[in-house]
């Protein structure tokens, strides 16, 4: 039984994975005449841009507004006088702790997923074991498992392991659920490495470990970064695992913290918007400096 | 500086801990209260030294709450220094604590004193025979016993036996009003009866404001109306029947009538039209009240702290904010002095504890001692201890204190008193009643079926 | 099993063992455990006890079950429809070069960065009927009192809308990437034939994007079937049970009512529904792909 939502058939399950190496390819140089404005899509874009931009505008202006100003000025007025007090309040609260937890969880989950997935992908592509082909389909099954459906047994298992309310309780399941896609993308990338390269290394008597280090690692670097971005975004924004598998403030992550701020700040809307904005900062910085890579990472494994 | 009234919104066990009573708002700093911090045993009679029985270290289990924990640590140090005992405090986060308690109590590593929520929470342990009956011991120390406000002590009492002693502040649910808004509608005093409230609703509507604020997005705020109405209409026994699981308790005529009265309010436009979109945790009813858009609000005593802690100090101190007890209902069975809300949290002694005497001495020396009371007052809590009127300078604290002191019965918030499954179903169905999607009869039947 | 190492210097299956064990332990074992739990009574405090089919027998008398399935399927269907109708033209538009398009794109993709929790909290503020945007925008569109998330019908559409706000950028990104890979020669030929913009869109763009449409649809459908974070934070399934999805119903039965046995029954249903849908859709994907791949190259 194959349940791969993105791959096609048994022979070439990863052919539709977009390889970072082919990113620049096929950018159709459009004929100028094709640029003639199509008012339908144009107006749709305009409307949607407004719909997207307004909440972002609200987020920005409200986070700079004085607390008392929110009720009086309404949600859309420009804030005056501008205050950074909301940011100060958020940063002097629990925010930095949540932030640090988020970093630990994200790094932990991504490192485990990527390392294990790389090993597995190398074996899948190069080993002749039939077992591994089965294993590959077995992993693809994972793409179809909704995390919610197994959260109750996970809660039981994490409790039995005495990991409840620790950061490991988030890292381990998040890493496990990141594996299928990571393997899918990495297998696709490793298949692109010409077989002759492996063979010549093997002829030289290289062990699999040497081939892995000297061939696989360098050549799959773009795919690794794509996968890393994808997994990191997922782990950074994860909600269900922390919600169910952690409890105390010491191990709270940002997403849960945001929800908690809602309670803590009560009616302090400006404080809440500052917290949401701050939770965005690392991704926003990444977005500003390497938008292309971030966006291609996001659609890892899904685009043509 | 923030208030953390429902900290358990996070995590699994939201329902049972729903009204975690940790008021950590900035206190209405009482200058006199800050002065004394010594001699805890001074006011209480007896003393552990008399007993001479000091076996192993007596263990106290409580939930994490920085300010309350600190007060307990101080009390323990003083007690240990005075008696040579080795009482020790262990704290746990909210939800794991309940699990710890359930599995730990009755086992070898159980505590000697444990923190609990009274009511149904305590009952399950006393029913299982794990909790020491303090009644006869209290009878020997009547001065100590009588220092607790009866209605609050009542929630630590199961079947006439005292199992728990209040160790924190009281948080009753009360009515708030914006005096200016009432005045603008030609109303010069808060309603004291149901009929008055109904006629004022009409007046307030005419004057163009929403009569009563309601955070209908969060059903526990709606529950407060049902809690009070049932208490007034049918008396506290009606809810006790529900807690006991009596057959047909949810379809009792008093329950149906209370729910009908709720729908009357909704139909009269008392809560406006968009109440179901309003949340308490996010924007909520506080802003509505402070900005003069509503006349009344029914909420827990933490509400004042929430106002002050969230940029509405000006309004809270302006004199526009008024408060009073829930209205009386003519023809109702319940005493109009009854209250609902969060009575307190409790310390109980385990039945099989080898250190029972030390534990009892500790409670005796601590809970009503001047330093303990002062320390609670200092963090903005109003202890359930009699005779401290003079210490209360804040008018609101004075009001809640007297309200609790005069109340024959203090019904615990239902979502806390009932088991989690019933509570969850109740909140969902109650929201439907407020939306007029469910009739009172349908509500009763649905709840009887749970 | 013969020698796992086939060929000198090739990696053995041992390389895949960590990933396999890890995945099996946290994804496969739980799938088995959840089925077992559905036959037990478990309150998370004492050990689960076997009660046979009791939990399953309760399905018939669960007043929320059918509603939650209806809400889930409705949410899935409308999310798919609306998100596709917006994301497809948006992606096609963004695919073409131009400074203004790039700028618009940069803004449009920002929601991708915000977590579901953040989006839930943000829209919670916006939808406050008295002080949020709902008070301003409501009257323009006939909701004079701004009562969006408090109205059982509107709350459903709010979820569809906010879900679109969150996910349209992702799918527009997919379509943008795919559109850029359509060979320009196809359009040039069409222009020589005098085809209008709309004709080109229908005759070239849509068929060329067929595979992406399927991929995007599968992701949307599987994704919205498990909408959880947003619903929990924004409406908590309310008002009443109007927006209670199957995953949320399961969560509440488990982690609020502590009825993990029955919640496991709901989880099994979710599991079956999710995987069946994935299998069915994958079949369709394979089918569609065969006929649309690399057409006209």
Residue A157 is predicted with a pLDDT of 93
Arithmetic mean of pLDDT, B4-8: 33
Q: What is the mean pLDDT of residues A116-137?
A: 87
**Neighboring chains of C (3 or more beta-carbon pairs < 8 A):** A, B
Place of tokens 């030390």: B358
Same-domain pairing of B262 and B380: no
Question: Does B323 lie in the same domain as B177?
Answer: yes
What pLDDT shows up at residue B140? Answer: 94
With contacts defined as CB-CB under 8 Å, which chain C residues touch B282? 121, 124-125, 128
- Total domains in chain B come to 2
**Domains: count for chain A:** 2
Task: Using a CB–CB cutoff of 8 Å, tell me whether C41 touches chain B.
Answer: no
The verdict on A62 and A198 lying in the same domain is: no
Q: Which two tokens mark C147? A: 């009562």
What does each C-alpha distance from A86 to A82, A274, B152, B283, C132 come to in angstroms? 10, 6, 39, 16, 18
**Same domain, residue pair A57 and A108:** no
Structural domain total, chain C: 1
Within this chain, do residues A118 and A164 fall inside the same structural domain, yes or no?
Answer: yes
User: Taking residues B22-27, what's their average pLDDT?
Assistant: 29
Within 8 A of C117 by CB-CB distance, chain B residues are none
B355 found inside a domain: yes
Establish if A33 belongs to a structural domain.
no
B362: CATH: 3.40.190.10
Residue B309 lies in a domain: yes
CATH number of the domain encompassing residue A287: 1.10.3720.10
The residue-averaged pLDDT of C47-53 equals: 91
Distance (Å) of CA B254 to CA B175, B230, B334, C70: 22, 6, 11, 35
In tens, the pLDDT along B51-92 reads 444 456 889 999 877 778 889 999 999 999 999 889 999 887
Q: Contact at 8 Å (CB) between B433 and B276?
A: no
Q: Whose CA is closest to B3, among B216, B274, B316?
A: B316
User: Does one domain contain both B319 and B241?
Assistant: yes
A38:C177 CB<8 A: no
pLDDT at A93 over 50: yes
User: C159: domain range?
Assistant: 64-255+281-292
In a shared domain, residues B180 and B250: yes
Residue C120 structure tokens: 């839930």
Q: Does any domain span residue B351?
A: yes
- Please check whether residue A2 lies inside any domain of the structure: no
Note whether B184 and B256 are same-domain residues: yes
Tell me, yes or no, whether B352 and B282 share the same domain.
Answer: no
Q: How confident is the model at residue A211 (pLDDT cuts 50, 70, 90)?
A: confident
Q: Could you read off the pLDDT of B315-340 as tens digits, one per residue?
A: 888 889 999 999 999 999 999 999 99
Q: Residue C163 domain-assigned?
A: yes
Range of the structural domain that residue A232 is part of: 94-298
Q: Checking DSSP bridges between strand B346-349 and strand B165-166, what pairing results, if any?
A: antiparallel
Both B116 and B208 in one domain: the answer is no
Mark whether A162 and A55 lie in a shared domain.
Answer: no
Decide if C266 is inside a domain.
no
Asked if the structure places residue C123 within a domain, the reply is yes
Task: Please give the average per-residue pLDDT across B190-214, as a whole number.
Answer: 96
Pick from A17-31, B368-382, B414-428, C280-294: least confident: A17-31
Average pLDDT over residues B206-234: 95
pLDDT score, position B39: 35
DSSP of A15-74, one letter per residue?
TTSPPGGGTTTT-----GGGGS--HHHHHHHHHHHHHHHHHHHHHHHHHTS-HHHHHHH-
Residue A73 lies in a domain: yes
Q: Number of CB pairs < 8 Å for A and C?
A: 361
Look up the CATH number of the domain holding residue C144: 1.10.3720.10
- Put simply, whether B128 touches C (Cβ < 8 Å) is no
Task: Please tell me whether residues A79 and A100 are part of one structural domain.
Answer: no
Residues A52 and A160 in one domain: no
Question: Poorest-confidence range of A29-43, B297-311, C235-249?
Answer: A29-43
Query: Residue C151: inside a domain, yes or no?
Result: yes
Candidates B117, B2, B73, B28; CA nearest to B401 is B28
Q: Which of A2, A3, A6, A226 is nearest to A118 (CA)?
A: A226
Q: Which helix (H) or strand (E) covers residue B9, if one does?
A: none
Same domain, B41 and B119: yes
- pLDDT of B50: 38
| One domain for residues B235 and B372 | no
Q: What is the pLDDT of residue C99?
A: 86
Residues A151 and A200 in one domain: yes
Q: What confidence score (pLDDT) does residue A302 get? A: 66
Between CA A78 and CA A209 the distance in angstroms is 60
Residue B402 has pLDDT above 90, yes or no: yes
Interface of A with C in 12-41 (CB under 8 A): 16, 18, 25-31, 33-36, 38, 40-41
Q: Is the pLDDT of residue B367 over 70?
A: yes
Chain C segment 249-268 residues within 8 A of A by beta carbon are 250-251, 254-255, 260, 263-264, 267-268
B165 with B137, same domain: the answer is yes
Query: In terms of residue numbers, what domain contains B183?
Result: 171-341+415-449
As a whole number of angstroms, the distance between CA A154 and CA A161 comes to 10
Q: Indicate whether B382 and B301 sit together in one domain.
A: no
Whether residue A105 is contained in a domain is answered as yes
- ipTM computed for the complex: 0.88
- Whether residues B364 and B332 share a domain: the answer is no
Residues of A in contact with B93 (CB under 8 A): 165, 247-249
What band does C227 get if pLDDT is binned at 50, 70 and 90?
Answer: confident
> B298-311 pLDDT, tens per residue?
999 888 877 776 67
Which residue in chain B is spatially nearest to C58 when comparing CA positions?
B450
CA angle C224, C230, C235 (to 5 degrees): 115
Å from A164 to nearest chain B CA?
A: 9
- Mean pLDDT of the C262-282 span: 89
């Amino acid at each position: 039984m194959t349940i791969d939502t993105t791959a096609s058939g048994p022979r070439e399950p990863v052919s539709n994975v977009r390889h970072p190496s082919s990113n620049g390819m096929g950018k159709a140089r459009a004929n100028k005449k094709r640029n003639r404005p199509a008012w339908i899509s144009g107006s749709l874009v305009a409307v949607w841009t407004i719909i997207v931009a307004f909440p972002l505008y609200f987020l920005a202006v409200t986070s700079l507004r004085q607390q008392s100003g929110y009720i009086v000025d309404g949600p859309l007025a420009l804030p005056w006088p501008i205050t950074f007090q909301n940011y100060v309040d958020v940063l002097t609260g629990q925010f930095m702790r949540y932030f640090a937890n988020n970093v630990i969880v994200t790094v932990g989950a991504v490192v485990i997923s990527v390392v294990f997935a790389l090993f597995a992908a190398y074996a899948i592509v190069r080993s002749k074991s039939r077992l591994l082909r089965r294993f590959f389909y077995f992993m693809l099954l994972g793409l179809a498992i909704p995390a919610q459906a197994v959260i109750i047994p996970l809660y039981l298992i994490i409790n039995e392991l005495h990991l409840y309310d620790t950061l490991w309780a988030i890292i381990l399941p998040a890493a496990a659920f990141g594996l299928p896609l990571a393997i899918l993308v990495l297998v696709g990338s490793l298949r692109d490495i010409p077989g002759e390269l492996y063979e010549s290394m093997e002829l030289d008597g290289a062990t699999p470990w040497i081939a892995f280090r000297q061939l696989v690692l360098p050549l799959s670097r773009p795919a690794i970064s794509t996968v890393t971005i994808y997994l990191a975004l997922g782990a950074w924004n994860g909600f269900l695992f922390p919600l169910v598998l952690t409890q105390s403030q010491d191990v709270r992550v940002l997403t849960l913290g945001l929800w908690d701020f809602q309670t803590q700040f009560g009616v302090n809307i400006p404080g809440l918007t500052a917290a949401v904005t701050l939770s965005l900062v690392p991704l926003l910085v990444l977005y500003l400096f390497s938008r292309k890579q971030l966006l291609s990472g996001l659609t890892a494994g899904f685009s043509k | 500086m923030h208030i953390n009234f429902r900290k358990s919104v996070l995590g699994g066990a939201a329902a049972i801990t729903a009204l975690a009573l940790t008021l950590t708002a900035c206190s209405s700093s009482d200058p006199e209260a800050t002065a004394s911090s010594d001699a805890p045993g001074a006011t209480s009679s007896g003393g552990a030294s008399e007993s001479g029985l000091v076996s192993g270290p007596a263990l106290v289990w409580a939930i994490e709450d920085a300010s309350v924990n600190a007060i307990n640590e101080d009390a323990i140090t003083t007690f240990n220094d005075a008696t040579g005992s080795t009482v020790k405090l262990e704290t746990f986060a909210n939800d794991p604590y309940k699990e710890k308690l359930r599995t730990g109590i009755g086992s070898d590593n159980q505590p000697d004193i444990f923190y609990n929520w009274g009511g149904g929470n305590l009952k399950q342990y006393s029913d299982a025979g794990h909790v020491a009956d303090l009644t006869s011991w209290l009878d020997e120390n009547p001065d100590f016993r009588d220092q607790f406000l009866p209605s609050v002590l009542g929630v630590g009492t199961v079947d006439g036996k005292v199992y728990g002693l209040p160790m924190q502040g009281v948080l009753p649910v009360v009515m708030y009003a914006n005096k200016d808004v009432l005045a603008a509608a030609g109303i010069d005093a808060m309603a004291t009866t149901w009929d008055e409230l109904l006629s004022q609703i009409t007046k307030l509507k005419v004057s163009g404001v929403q009569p009563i604020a309601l955070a209908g997005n969060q059903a526990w705020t709606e529950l407060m109306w049902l809690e009070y109405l049932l208490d007034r209409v049918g008396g506290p026994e009606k809810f006790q029947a529900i807690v006991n699981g009596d057959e047909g308790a949810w379809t009792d005529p008093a329950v149906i009538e209370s729910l009908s009265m709720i729908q009357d309010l909704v139909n009269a436009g008392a809560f406006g039209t968009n109440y179901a979109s309003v949340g308490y945790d996010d924007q909520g009813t506080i802003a509505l009240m402070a900005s003069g858009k509503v006349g009344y609000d029914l909420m827990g005593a933490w509400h004042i702290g929430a106002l002050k802690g969230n940029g509405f100090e000006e309004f809270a101190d302006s004199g526009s904010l008024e408060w009073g007890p829930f209205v009386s209902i003519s023809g109702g069975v319940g005493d109009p002095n009854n209250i609902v809300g969060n009575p307190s949290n409790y310390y109980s002694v385990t039945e099989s504890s080898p250190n029972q005497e030390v534990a009892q001495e500790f409670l005796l020396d601590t809970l009503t001692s001047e330093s303990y009371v002062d320390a609670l007052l200092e963090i903005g809590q109003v202890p359930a201890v009699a005779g401290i009127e003079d210490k209360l300078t804040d008018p609101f604290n004075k009001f809640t204190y007297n309200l609790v002191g005069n109340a024959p019965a203090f019904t615990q918030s239902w979502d806390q008193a009932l088991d989690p499954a019933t509570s969850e179903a109740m909140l969902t169905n109650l929201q439907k009643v407020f939306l007029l999607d469910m009739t009172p009869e349908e509500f009763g039947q649905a709840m009887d079926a749970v | 099993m013969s020698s796992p190492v086939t060929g000198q210097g090739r990696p053995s299956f041992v390389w895949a063992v960590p990933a396999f064990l890890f995945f099996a332990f946290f994804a496969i074992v739980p799938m088995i455990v959840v089925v077992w739990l559905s036959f037990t009574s478990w309150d998370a405090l004492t050990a689960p006890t076997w009660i046979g089919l009791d939990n399953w027998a309760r399905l018939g008398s669960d007043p929320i079950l059918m509603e939650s399935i209806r809400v889930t399927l409705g949410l899935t269907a409308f999310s798919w429809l609306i998100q596709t109708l917006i994301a497809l033209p948006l992606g096609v538009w963004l695919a073409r070069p131009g400074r203004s398009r790039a700028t618009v794109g940069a803004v449009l993709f920002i929601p991708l960065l915000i977590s579901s929790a953040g989006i839930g909290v943000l829209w919670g503020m916006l939808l406050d009927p008295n002080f949020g945007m709902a008070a301003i925008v409501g009257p323009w569109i006939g909701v004079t009192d701004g009562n969006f998330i408090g109205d059982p019908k509107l709350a459903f559409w709010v979820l569809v809308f906010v879900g679109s706000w969150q996910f349209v950028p992702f799918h527009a990104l997919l379509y943008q990437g795919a559109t850029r890979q359509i060979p320009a020669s196809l359009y040039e030929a069409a222009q020589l034939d005098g085809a209008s913009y709309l004709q080109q869109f229908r005759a070239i763009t849509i068929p060329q994007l067929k595979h992406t449409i399927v991929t995007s649809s599968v992701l949307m459908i599987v994704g919205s079937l498990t909408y959880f974070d947003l619903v929990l934070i924004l409406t908590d399934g309310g008002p009443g049970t109007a927006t209670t999805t199957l995953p949320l119903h399961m969560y509440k039965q488990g982690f609020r009512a502590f009825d993990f046995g029955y919640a496991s029954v709901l989880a099994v249903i979710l599991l079956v529904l999710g995987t069946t849908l994935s299998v069915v859709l994958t079949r369709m994907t394979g089918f569609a792909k065969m006929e649309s791949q690399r057409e006209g190259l």
